[in-house]
Structure formats: C-alpha cells, structure tokens
Structure 1
Amino acid sequence: MKRITFWLDFISPYAYLAFEHLPQALEGLSYEVEYRPVLFAGLLKHHGQLGPAEIAGKREWTYRQVLWQAHVLGIPMQMPAVHPFNPLALLRLALAHGPNRHACETLFRHVWRGGADASDPARLEALRQQLAPVRDPASDEVKHALRQSTDDAIAAGLFGVPTFAVDDKLFWGFDALPMLRGYLQGDPWFEQPWREAARAAAASPIKRVRG
C-alpha cells in the first residue's frame, strides 16, 4: 500500500477540488493519505511569486475555471464572499484537531460551500466548537506546528498546493490526479520520461528575459 502525503491549504480552490475528487480519481487502488496543512502564502513568499488570485486577469479566469470544473464533476462549490482571505485560523484549527479527512472535509466545505465569509469570527467559533480540537488553535505549539509544516514543505521541494507526495515524487495540482493514478498503478512511463524531464530542467537554468 502506498502512502500519499497530501499538502493543502484551505484557501486554494484547486486543493478543495482535489480533496473532493480524490476518492473517485483513485478508485480501486490501495493507498492511505496523510493530510498536511501548509501556508500557501509561505511557499509563494519563499519562491518570490504571487498567487493566482493576486494577478489581474488570472484571478477572474481562475474563479471561472474552478467553478466550471466543479460543475463538470458534480462537486458542490460556491466562491466565498471574500477571496483571497487569511487562512491561518483554519490551518491552525486543522492542526489543533489533527488533520484527518473528517476535519479537512469540514474545513474545506466551510470555505467552498454556501458562499459565506470564511473568516467571519462567528462562523470560525462555530467551526471550532463543532470540531472540538484537542489542542488550542491559538497556542504557540500549534502555531509552531504550522510553521514547521510549511518549512517541511519547502524543504521537500513544494511550490504550490495541492501537492501529492509519493515515494520520492511530487505531483502538483488538481489536474495531476490522473498522473498520480498512473504512478500508483505502476505505469512504466515513470522509469524514463520522468528522469528525462529532470535532466532537461537541470541542463537549462532558469533565465529572466529582459525586454
């Protein structure tokens, strides 16, 4: 049985879609999932990038695309009243509870179903009471756990969410689920082309084009 580490942030609509669709995408396969909340903004800061919702044009397209994908897959989804928002309270609540599938499902659906404000204090308090975490989400222990998780993600080579880690391989994005399935099924493609892509990337350093 393969172990999948699912790196996620509740702010990401693609992470929500991946979470909801994962059981169907991997139906019939033997695997277990470890859910790892991570601060997406921390990954972006480390790599000097902006998130999709921070770029004019791309923001509107992203919202349309995720809502279309949800429509096609039959996944209930509504944009929250405010996006992007600060996800720290949700990430810390997940870690305080223990980020199992039930907790992550509750938190994702808090954000991506109903169209309400994910950061509304009254809703957050109701969510905390519903999950009844074993640790205090505002404790230094939980805050440190989130920082450590983000540092671990960066050290593992992550640059975005959702990311699925299996063995020594990372699969980034909701649209990587078919690729992840192929790897879990033992597709021989991963023996040669996977390594060729790595060699090509190493042989062609990133260069900034100046206009």
Structure 2
Amino acid sequence: MAQDNLSSSSKKVRKEVEMYWDLGSTNAYFALKLIRPVLARHDAGLVLHPFNLGHVFRLHNYVLMEEPPAKIANRKRDLARWAEKYQLPFRFPTRFPIKTSRALRGSLVMRRHGLELAYVDAIMSAYWERDDHSVADYAGLRTVAAGLGVDPDAFEAECESAEIREQLARSTDGGLARGVFGVPAMFVGDELFWGKDRMEFIEDELGRR
C-alpha cells in the first residue's frame, strides 16, 4: 500500500490514517488541511485513496446541487466560516461541479514518482483557492506535473493507460466495499470517519492505538 508520510524521516510509521478523496469535494479540501496537525501529533502517516464521486453519484442516482436554494446558500456560507476559522484561502469556484476522473488518475501516476501528496495539494489549491478549473483537464494537469518535475507527455500517457484507469476503478470500488459513501472518508484501522468535522474522533482513535 502506497503511503505519503508528512515527514522526510525514514523511520517506521507506527500509525496511519487512510483518506478517500475527490478533487470535486469541498470537504475533502478542508480535511486535507485539518488532518495535518492531527497526524503530526501522533507521528502518523497518511494514505490517500482516490474515489470517483461522479461514478458513485451516478450509481446512486444522485444529482449534485439539486437541492433547495436556501440549503445551497447556507452550505456556501458555512464553508466560508470554516475558511475564516482556520485561516485558509478557500474560495468557492465559479465553475462547479467539474469532471475529476483525469485528476484522480493523475494522483495514481504521481504515486509512482513519490509525489502523490504534493500533486493532490497542488490541484486542490488550484481549484479551491485560485478558482483554476483547468485542473479538470490535461491542460492544467500537465502544468502541475511539470511543476513537480514530471514529464507532462509521459504523465498524460500514463493517465490514459488501461492500467491506471483500472487502478482508479479498483480504488473506488474498494472504498464502496468498505462502506465509503462520500468523501472525505477516513479510516483508522477499520473505523470509518466521514467529513471534515471528525478530526477530534480521529485523534481519539489514534490515541487509543
């Protein structure tokens, strides 16, 4: 299982948190930020699992944003509160939702280079902080890959390969088999925690291990 430790130390990590994520999830953006201090306090590693929300939504006949306008407006205000509280440069993008399968496959390619977490951070920042929806397509993803020192032509070719496509399908199906219904979904062992506001519970579980 691939790991992204948040330290350059080569010492063995005693604990880990697994996180299922999707670029199109506001709460996954926040969770990736808020999990960092929790991991640091427990000397724990982070294992990332791309999870294709678009596929899962279609599977369950769920249409994003088809909710009462008042609820959507309140959600956006609530997100702004989270950004203010934790001093994060979050801004709701002008183009939402976006197709994320290319970006998700890109994370699996970057895993091979040991750059998975750096890549995910980069695309999350682009979309949720700078309103850069180009990361939905290769035009933006190639730039991210190049910025991380990976040849963009090779990156795109690998993203389109049958092997990487199958890996994303397995990652998503594996999450469904474990009970994942949305993201961010985080596991400590077999315990599932869903949402950006579950950090206290994750910390408690890490403390017990």
One fold, TM greater than 0.5?
yes
Decide whether aligned partners of structure 1 residues 139 and 56 sit closer, same or farther in structure 2, where only a CA change above 3 A counts: farther
Structure 1 unmatched ranges of 5 or more: 188-211
More divergent stretch after superposition (19-28 vs 62-71) = 19-28
Q: Equivalences for 1:118-137 in 2 at 5 Å?
A: 118=134, 119=136, 122-131=139-148, 132=150, 136-137=158-159
Structure 2 unmatched ranges of 5 or more: 1-13
Q: Does 1:167 align with 2:189?
A: yes
Q: Which amino acid aligns with 1:104?
A: V
Tell me if the contact between 2:119 and 2:144 (Cα under 8 Å) persists in the aligned partners. Answer: no
The match for 2:176 is: 154
Q: Which amino acid aligns with 2:140?
A: R
Q: Which amino acid aligns with 2:67?
A: I
Tell me if the contact between 2:102 and 2:137 (Cα under 8 Å) persists in the aligned partners. Answer: no
Paired with 2:78 and 2:20, the residues of 1 have a C-alpha distance of 21
- Secondary structure of the structure 1 residue equivalent to 2:132: coil
TM-score by length of 1: 0.79
Q: Does 1:29 align with 2:42?
A: yes
- 1:108-139 Cα offsets, whole Å, 9 max, x none, are 11211112324365323322322427751111
% same residue:
24
- Secondary structure of the structure 1 residue equivalent to 2:20: strand
Q: Tell me which structure has the larger Cα radius of gyration.
A: 1
The match for 1:56 is: 68
- Secondary structure of the structure 1 residue equivalent to 2:17: strand
Tell me if the contact between 1:14 and 1:174 (Cα under 8 Å) persists in the aligned partners. Answer: yes
- Secondary structure of the structure 2 residue equivalent to 1:113: helix
Q: Which amino acid aligns with 1:170?
A: L
- 1:74-127 Cα offsets, whole Å, 9 max, x none, are 111112220111111211111111163212111211211112324365323322
Tell me if the contact between 1:44 and 1:159 (Cα under 8 Å) persists in the aligned partners. Answer: no
Q: Which amino acid aligns with 2:122?
A: T
Taking only aligned residues, the RMSD between alpha carbons, in angstroms, comes to 2.1
- 1:7-54 Cα offsets, whole Å, 9 max, x none, are 100110100001011112444212111111110122333444344x34
Tell me if the contact between 2:50 and 2:104 (Cα under 8 Å) persists in the aligned partners. Answer: yes
More divergent stretch after superposition (56-65 vs 74-83) = 56-65
The match for 2:10 is: none
Give the length in aligned residue pairs.
186
Tell me if the contact between 1:44 and 1:160 (Cα under 8 Å) persists in the aligned partners. Answer: no
The match for 1:93 is: 106
- Secondary structure of the structure 2 residue equivalent to 1:75: coil
Decide whether aligned partners of structure 1 residues 126 and 148 sit closer, same or farther in structure 2, where only a CA change above 3 A counts: same
